[in-house]
């Protein structure tokens, strides 16, 4: 394990792990078994939430599709932009064609088309001489353009009723479609793209305690109001009764009891989870972490300062993206009276002396050594992490003897 001060510039970790093999001669490669080639392929890591925050869950066999139509407004807003624009254009086009057809039928039934140019005839709509002109009149009516060339007369009661119906329905269509487009444009999803999470989470000692940490930051100058953060552990489990629960969600405490989960996100912050007896990582060591099939989902929520709308950003960390024995490189410096954030180092980490034992094992070691937990972990156990097992046991025996000598001296001084 590297000493403090040696930096390992870890960049973005992909969601796939490539197992590289040394390049062999062609003859040697041909002699290899066929199943050996599978080891050189990429092993895809299955995620519950992708790094960009999108949930990797597909809803299939939904029989009650009518529920989507009962909330048609939300359904349209959730559609992709290409489908949304297509529906927007089709709704207006269909309504214009529908009412244009009715205007043309009124003119056809009344006989207005047979008296084109007859000044003694009172048509329903002046200068309406076919379906095309009826379609244009429908557009002028619904959009309230009113060019003045084609106008309705007061000798056509059915036309007046149709004009009222089209005006009311046209206002409803405008309110619905324009409102749908406005909500879709003003959605805060794009604001979440400027909220960034570190590509790795780290586990190291902080104040004598083993902690899981990750970093969050806001790229914009406009702040996220009432920002809060949550974390969930996604891991399948089996109950004592034998029930298998796939993708069970366990809450990870990132400061709920102390208020540290309420963020003032002006500069990048390191979110810390103390691995204690209530933590799901209490019994997981460095060796076990590499074998675990788990995923940590982090959720950052808050209101956009400019619009007041709620915004949510998500990310996740699988076991291969949790670096044991690392810390984050500082990114905040003081420059000419103001603080400068270097986002080039936002994802960077460096190695630090961290015992490979689980938090439970560290607590047991500290209790056996009869020392304060913070002192024993930060000093003796960091050294023991680099020693052989028998040398580590020797340290604890010597420390126990020293503690006994100190106690005897204190008793003698009191006497």
Instruction: Tell me which of 169, 186, 203 is where a domain ends.
Output: 186
242 and 354 belong to one structural domain: yes
pLDDT at 15: 36
The domain in which residue 239 lies consists of 191-363
Distance CA 67, CA 399 (A): 68
More confident residue, 6 or 252: 252
218 and 346 belong to one structural domain: yes
More confident residue, 178 or 30: 178
Instruction: Tell me which of 324, 347, 363 is where a domain ends.
Output: 363
pLDDT band (50, 70, 90) for residue 337: confident
Is residue 390 assigned to a domain? no
Tens digits of residue pLDDT in 342-371: 999 999 999 999 999 999 999 998 888 754
210 and 90 belong to one structural domain: no
Q: Token pair of 225, please? A: 């109001």
pLDDT band (50, 70, 90) for residue 244: very high
Name the region of 318 (left: φ>0; alpha: ψ -120 to 50; beta: rest).
Answer: beta
Is residue 337 assigned to a domain? yes
350 and 201 belong to one structural domain: yes
Tens digits of residue pLDDT in 73-122: 888 888 888 999 999 999 999 999 999 999 999 999 988 888 888 888 88
pLDDT at 37: 39
Number of domains in the chain: 2
CA distances from 296 to 74, 244, 247, 256 (A): 29, 20, 11, 17
Q: How many other CB atoms are found less than 10 A from the CB of residue 151?
A: 13
Spatial contact of 295 and 48, defined as CB atoms under 8 Å apart: yes
Is residue 98 assigned to a domain? yes
Tens digits of residue pLDDT in 269-306: 999 999 999 999 999 999 999 888 899 999 999 998 87
Q: Token pair of 198, please? A: 């570190």
Instruction: Tell me which of 339, 363, 387 is where a domain ends.
Output: 363
112 and 216 belong to one structural domain: no
pLDDT at 137: 93
226 and 248 belong to one structural domain: yes
pLDDT band (50, 70, 90) for residue 16: very low
More confident residue, 381 or 44: 44
331 has pLDDT over 90 = yes
415 has pLDDT over 80 = no
pLDDT at 170: 93
174 and 96 belong to one structural domain: yes
Distance CA 110, CA 101 (A): 14
Q: What is the CATH number of the domain that holds 85?
A: 1.10.287.70
210 and 323 belong to one structural domain: yes
212 and 259 belong to one structural domain: yes
User: Cα 285 vs. chain centroid, distance in angstroms?
Assistant: 28
Is residue 16 assigned to a domain? no
Is residue 371 assigned to a domain? no
Tens digits of residue pLDDT in 185-222: 877 777 788 899 999 999 999 998 999 999 999 998 88
Q: What share of the chain is helix, strand, coil (3-state, %, to 5)?
A: 40, 25, 35
- Ranked by mean pLDDT, the top range of 50-59, 143-152, 310-319, 398-407 is 310-319
Mean pLDDT, range 41-66, rounded to an integer: 71
25 has pLDDT over 70 = no
35 has pLDDT over 80 = no
Distance CA 402, CA 124 (A): 110
CA distances from 229 to 51, 188, 272, 381 (A): 16, 17, 11, 32
- Mean residue pLDDT of the chain comes to 80
Is residue 17 assigned to a domain? no
96 and 201 belong to one structural domain: no
pLDDT above 90 covers what percent of the chain?
A: 44
149 and 263 belong to one structural domain: no
Helix 81-110 vs helix 131-142: angle between axes, to the nearest 10 degrees?
120
Is residue 379 assigned to a domain? no
Give the predicted TM-score (pTM) of the model.
0.65
Is residue 180 assigned to a domain? yes
Mean pLDDT, range 2-16, rounded to an integer: 37
pLDDT band (50, 70, 90) for residue 172: very high
Distance CA 319, CA 289 (A): 6
Closest CA to 98 of 179, 145, 165: 165
More confident residue, 132 or 398: 132
Q: How many other CB atoms are found less than 10 A from the CB of residue 334?
A: 8
pLDDT at 396: 44
pLDDT band (50, 70, 90) for residue 144: confident
Spatial contact of 4 and 352, defined as CB atoms under 8 Å apart: yes
pLDDT at 154: 87
Helix 359-369 vs helix 389-414: angle between axes, to the nearest 10 degrees?
40
215 and 244 belong to one structural domain: yes
Q: What is the CATH number of the domain that holds 324?
A: 2.60.40.1400
pLDDT band (50, 70, 90) for residue 13: very low
Mean pLDDT, range 10-15, rounded to an integer: 36
């Amino acid at each position: 394990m590297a000493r403090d001060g040696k930096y390992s510039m870890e960049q973005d970790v992909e969601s796939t792990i490539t197992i590289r093999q040394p390049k062999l001669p062609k003859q040697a490669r041909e002699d290899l078994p066929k199943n050996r080639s599978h080891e050189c392929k990429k092993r895809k890591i299955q995620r519950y939430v992708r790094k960009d925050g999108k949930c990797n869950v597909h809803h299939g066999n939904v029989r009650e599709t009518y529920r989507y139509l009962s909330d048609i407004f939300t359904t349209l807003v959730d559609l992709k932009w290409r489908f949304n624009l297509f529906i927007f254009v089709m709704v207006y086009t269909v309504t214009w064609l529908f009412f244009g057809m009715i205007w043309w039928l009124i003119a056809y039934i009344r006989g207005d088309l047979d008296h084109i140019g007859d000044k003694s005839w009172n048509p329903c709509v002046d200068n309406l001489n076919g379906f095309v002109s009826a379609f244009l009149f429908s557009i002028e009516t619904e959009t309230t353009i009113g060019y003045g060339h084609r106008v309705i007369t007061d000798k056509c009661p059915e036309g007046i009723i149709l004009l009222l119906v089209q005006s009311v329905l046209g206002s409803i269509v405008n309110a619905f479609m324009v409102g749908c487009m406005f909500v879709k444009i003003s959605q805060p999803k794009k604001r979440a793209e400027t909220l960034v999470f570190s590509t790795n989470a780290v586990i190291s000692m902080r104040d004598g305690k083993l902690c899981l940490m990750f970093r969050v930051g806001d790229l914009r100058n406009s702040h996220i109001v009432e920002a809060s953060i949550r974390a969930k552990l996604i891991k399948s489990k089996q109950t004592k009764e034998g029930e298998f629960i796939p993708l069970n969600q366990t809450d990870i405490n990132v400061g709920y009891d102390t208020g540290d989960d309420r963020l003032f996100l002006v500069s990048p912050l390191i979110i810390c989870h103390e691995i204690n007896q209530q933590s799901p990582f209490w019994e997981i060591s460095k060796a076990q972490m590499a074998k675990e099939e788990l995923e940590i989902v982090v959720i950052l929520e808050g209101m956009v300062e400019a619009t007041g709308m709620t915004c949510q950003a998500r990310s996740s960390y699988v076991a291969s993206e949790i670096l044991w024995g690392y810390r984050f490189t500082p990114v905040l410096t003081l420059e000419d009276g103001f603080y400068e954030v270097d986002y080039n180092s936002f994802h960077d980490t460096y190695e630090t002396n961290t015992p490979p034992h689980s938090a439970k094992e560290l607590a047991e070691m500290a209790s056996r050594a009869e020392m304060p937990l913070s002192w024993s972990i930060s000093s003796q156990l960091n050294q023991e992490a680099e020693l052989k097992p028998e040398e580590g046991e020797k340290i604890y025996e010597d420390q126990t003897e020293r503690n006994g000598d100190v106690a005897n001296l204190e008793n003698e001084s009191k006497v």
